[in-house]
Structure 1
Amino acid sequence: MTEWWLWMYVAAMAGGVVLFTRWRADPCGVPLSEYRVAIAVPLWSGSWYLVLALGGGRTEVAGHDLYWARYVDWSVTSPLLLVALMLTATHALPGRRWRLTSALIGMNLLVFLCGLVAELTADAAVRYTLFTIGVLALLGLYGLIWGPLRTHAYRQPKEIAAVYREAALLLSVLWVGYPLFWFIGPAGVGLISSATTSLLFVVLSILTKVGWSILDLGRLRALSDRGELTVV
């Protein structure tokens, strides 16, 4: 059953690559850089889940299976999603806020490293301490998304600012699932099995890496169709 869900994930990522490639051929006023990011996310993620579906990308540590291919996936796709969010936040503004984006990616890296090292650690006290630090870092990341990045987004026309608000809200809600599923899964308190955890991560990641981009790019494309998209 777990392998079936993994293959479903690979198929969903392939579908995302096809969709965003077709959209890129008719960009509707959306910069091609935004399509490149959207394509890169499912392409990279699908490749590593293909490794998982073929039986690789995992090893046993601290009494449970560590799906290290997920962390390789997240190490690239999470920063790319933040870059995509920054591009939406500055869509109609001159220049990009790369220093702020670097801060976002740095905070995200801390979340990522805390989760990985915690899963590698056998000592429960150390593991939950690292988990707590990771959660605090995630809250700090949310502070940047809903603080300075949101301020930039609201300097744009209200229609584009609304797209940012929707995209930031959806990403914020979806990302709560990652520490939650980690905590209740085998790496945490073990309330659910490894197979169930894998299924939950599959569904969550499809929504995050393809569903989120469909919302983000789709809303920007819709504004262009209505003549409300202005790029400086």
Structure 2
Amino acid sequence: MGNDALKANGNTVDGYTADISITVRGSDAYWAIFAFMAFMTLLFIAHSYTKPRTERVFHYITISITIVASVAYFAMASNLGWASILVEFFRADNKVAGTTREIFYVRYIDWVITTPLLLLDILLTAGMPWPTVLFTLLLDEVMIITGLVGALVKSSYKWGFFTFGCVAFLIIVWNVAWVGRRHANALGSDVSKVYLITSVWTLGLWFLYPIAWGLSEGGNVIAPDSEAAFYGTLDVLAKPIFGILFLGGHKNISAARLGLAIRDYQEVPRAALLHEKGEPVPGARSGVHTGAGAEPAVIGGA
């Protein structure tokens, strides 16, 4: 049975037609990536059972990344989740000739969920303080949302939003490459190694995304099929392949060592242990605190 997604879901939505859109080849590429994302999700789920529930926090985050990406690629393979947007640059090449281009907003819905989770994996590995973690995640949301807004704008003002996103990205790079690395180094050579490998891997790939954006949604230089191959390759490397590197590196690193401890359902939080007089046990703490030298933080059931 052939791929009939484009027959079932054509290039016209609510009366708006995209002149520049994916072909069956682009849809096939998206289907292949969807299948790989889904397969890796199942693999990560199976691998999580090799760890006790209290040590699965990084598995759960990584699984969430590939689950969301699987749904997004299913939508794009089905030629769904897009908007028809007037292009700023008109090209003579038949593959990108036309006045409107298919922009997959579902891709940005994927990124606005998964890229903060990727950063969370990395930053928790370094035991970074929560204020820095939250600030970095906010910058990530700014980066993705400005990219989406820029993609949906037909005029040259799209490059203003592109610039905002690039500035946010550069601050993220600073927090990950400099601030985070110093925190990771304080936790030992094995933690420092996995942090260095996964952060360099992620940031190196993320530097290529603005190029892909400029060639596709931004400049209308490459065809949507080439866009599918470019973004798809980056997403495969940045998500499931990252997951393999990341979880493999965490094999012998406990969450408690990073300042995190997730209690199992039969365990009583230390803060709930009371003296006979009803006073908390000396030194018992509640809440969440991460960072080098921090006591493990009880953050809920597994």
Q: Any stretches of 5+ residues in structure 1 without a counterpart?
A: 91-95
Distance 2:53 2:195 in 1: 17
Which residue does 1:198 correspond to in 2? 228
**Percent of aligned positions with the same letter in both sequences?**
23
Q: Is the 8 A contact 2:123 2:133 kept in 1?
A: yes
Matches within 5 A, 1:20-35: 20-27=44-51, 31-35=55-59
Following superposition, the deviation at residue 27 of structure 1 comes to 2.3
Distance 1:111 1:181 in 2: 15
Distance 1:132 1:173, change over 3 A: same
Question: Does 1:118 pair with 2:150?
Answer: yes
TM-superposition CA deviations, 1:201-230 (whole Å, max 9, x none): 111101111011110111221xx2xxxx45
CA RMSD of aligned residues (A): 1.7
Following superposition, the deviation at residue 11 of structure 1 comes to 0.8
Distance 1:61 1:145, change over 3 A: same
Distance 1:102 1:127 in 2: 27
Normalization by structure 1: what TM-score?
0.89
Which SS does the other structure have where 1:122 is aligned? coil
Q: Is the 8 A contact 1:30 1:220 kept in 2?
A: no
Q: Number of residue pairs matched?
A: 219
Distance 1:19 1:80, change over 3 A: same
Which SS does the other structure have where 2:218 is aligned? coil
Following superposition, the deviation at residue 8 of structure 1 comes to 0.8
Q: Is the 8 A contact 1:100 1:149 kept in 2?
A: no
Code of the residue aligned with 2:68 in structure 1: it is W
2:81 to 41, 47, 57: 57
Which residue does 2:270 correspond to in 1? none
Distance 2:178 2:238 in 1: 21
Matches within 5 A, 1:21-100: 21-27=45-51, 31-62=55-86, 63-90=100-127, 97-100=129-132
TM-superposition CA deviations, 1:120-179 (whole Å, max 9, x none): 11111x111221221121111101111222221111111211110111100000111211
Whichever structure has more helix as a proportion of its residues is: 1
Q: Which structure exhibits the higher relative contact order, with contacts defined as CA atoms closer than 8 Å and separated by 6 or more residues? A: 1
Q: Any stretches of 5+ residues in structure 2 without a counterpart?
A: 1-24, 87-99, 258-302
